[in-house]
Amino acid sequence: AKDYELRQYETAKWVSTVIRGETQKEAMRQGFWKLFHYIQGKNEKEMKIDMTVPVTCLVKSGCTDFKISFFVPFEHQDCPPQPTDSDVFIEERKAAALFVRSFGGFASPEKYAEEADTLARTLRNRGQQFHEDFFYTAGYDSPFKLFNRHNEVWYFKK
Q: Which CATH number characterizes residue 79's domain?
A: 3.20.80.10
Task: Choose among 9, 1, 2: nearest CA to 156.
Answer: 9
Please report, in angstroms and rounded to a whole number, the separation of the first and last CA atoms in the chain: 18
DSSP result, 92-110:
EEPPEEEEEEEE-SPPPHH
Instruction: Give the global pTM.
Output: 0.96
Phi and psi of 117, rounded to 5°? Answer: -60, -45
Helix (H) or strand (E) holding 18: strand 12-20
CB 135 within 8 A of CB 154: yes
pLDDT tens for each residue of the chain, 158 residues long = 889 999 999 999 999 999 999 999 999 999 999 999 999 999 999 999 999 999 999 999 999 999 999 999 999 999 999 999 999 999 999 999 999 999 999 999 999 999 999 999 999 999 999 999 999 999 999 888 999 999 999 999 99
Domain that holds residue 62: 5-156
Nearest Cα neighbor of 105 from 148, 75, 62, 71 is 148
Number of domains present in the structure of the chain: 1
The predicted structure's pLDDT at residue 12: 98
Q: What is the pLDDT of residue 143?
A: 83
The DSSP code for 143 is T
